[in-house]
Amino acid sequence: MSKLSIRDLEMSGKRVFIRVDFNVPLDGGRVSDDTRIRETLPTLRLAIERGARLVLASHLGRPKGKVDPKYSLAPVAAKLGELLGKPVAFAADCVGADAEAKSKALRNGEVLLLENVRYHAEEEANDPAFAKQLAALCDQIFVCDAFGSAHRAHASVVGITKFVRQSAAGLLMEKELTHLGRAISNPERPFVAVLGGAKVSDKIEVVQNLMKLADAMLIGGAMAYTFLRSQGLPVGKSLVENDKLDLARGLLEEARTRKFRLLLPVDHVLAESPDFSTTKTTDIADTPDGWMGLDVGPRTIAQFSQEISKARTIVWNGPLGMFEKPAFAQGTLAMARAVAAATVAGATSIVGGGDSVAAVEQSGVASQISHISTGGGASLEFLAGEKLPGVEALSER
Task: In whole angstroms, give the CA distance from residue 375 to residue 286.
Answer: 38
Among 61, 65, 81, 354, the active-site one is 354
Q: Which of 40, 79, 24 lies closest to 176 in space, CA to CA?
A: 40
- Residue 354 annotated in active site: yes
| Known catalytic membership, residue 377 | yes
Q: Are 350 and 194 in contact (CB under 8 A)?
A: no
Which partner from the list Mg ion, ligand ADP, none does 226 bind, CB cut-off 5 to 8 Å by kind? none
- Tell me if residue 36 is catalytic: yes
Size of the site for ligand ADP (CB under 6 A): 19
Determine, following the binding rule CB under 6 A, whether residue 221 of this chain makes contact with ligand ADP. Answer: yes
Nearer to Mg ion, 203 or 244 (CB): 203
Binding to ligand ADP (CB under 6 A): which residues in 314-333? 317-319, 321-322, 324
353 binds ligand ADP (CB under 6 A): yes
Under 8 Å between Cβ of 53 and 16: yes
Q: How many CB atoms lie within 10 A of CB 250?
A: 11
Per-residue mark of binding to Mg ion, 342-361 (x: CB under 5 A): ------------xx------
Identify whether the C-beta of residue 36 lies closer than 8 Å to the C-beta of residue 24.
Answer: yes
Nearest Cα neighbor of 109 from 128, 131, 87, 94 is 87
Closer CB to ligand ADP, residue 114 or residue 292? 292
Strand stretches in the chain, DSSP E: 15-19, 26-27, 30-31, 53-57, 88-91, 111-114, 141-144, 166-169, 191-195, 216-219, 261-263, 267-272, 279-283, 291-296, 313-317, 348-352, 371-372
Q: Give the active site residue among 132, 199, 249, 299.
A: 199
Pairing of strands 26-27, 30-31: antiparallel
Pick 223 or 262: Cβ nearer Mg ion: 223
Q: How far is the CB of 4 from ligand ADP (least distance, A)?
A: 30
Task: Kindly tell me which of 127 and 386 has the beta carbon lying closer to ligand ADP.
Answer: 386
Footprint of ligand ADP (CB under 6 A): 197-198, 202, 221-222, 239, 293-294, 317-319, 321-322, 324, 353-356, 376
Footprint of Mg ion (CB under 5 A): 354-355
By annotation, the residues acting in catalysis are 36, 199, 354, 377
